[in-house]
Amino acid sequence: MADILRLFAVSAFHQDYDLDSPTADDAVEQFVGRASAETMNSLIRRVEALLESSLDDEQFDELWINRLHANYDPRDDGMTYREWFAHVRDLLTQATAD
């Protein structure tokens, strides 16, 4: 599961992502602008699998920050990981529909 998620984490939410993107949504949008349709569909499936999992917020944190090396914590913006990944899925789904 970590393959496409790792690509998303390290390319959209790299160490200096906030210098390139004023918000997390902007970082997602920039990733979308560079991703192929195949990459987008794969990422949507992976995010949906995460949302269907029984991971709690600490397990999401372990995965996203420690294993995938993302530099964004949605709790800093008042969202749980589950809420944020649902939001990301919606952004990705909307982008593929456009």
Residue 97: what pLDDT?
A: 84
Residue-level pLDDT at 1: 44
Q: 28 lies in which domain range?
A: 2-97
Q: Which of 81, 85, 24 is nearest to 14 (CA)?
A: 24
Cβ pair 27, 12 in contact under 8 A: yes
How many domains in the chain? Answer: 1
pLDDT per position as a tens digit, 31-82: 999 999 999 999 999 999 999 999 999 999 999 999 999 999 999 999 999 9
pLDDT for the residue numbered 98 = 73
Band of residue 6 on the pLDDT scale cut at 50, 70, 90: very high
The alpha-helical segments, DSSP class H, found in 1-98 are 2-12, 17-20, 24-34, 37-52, 57-61, 81-97
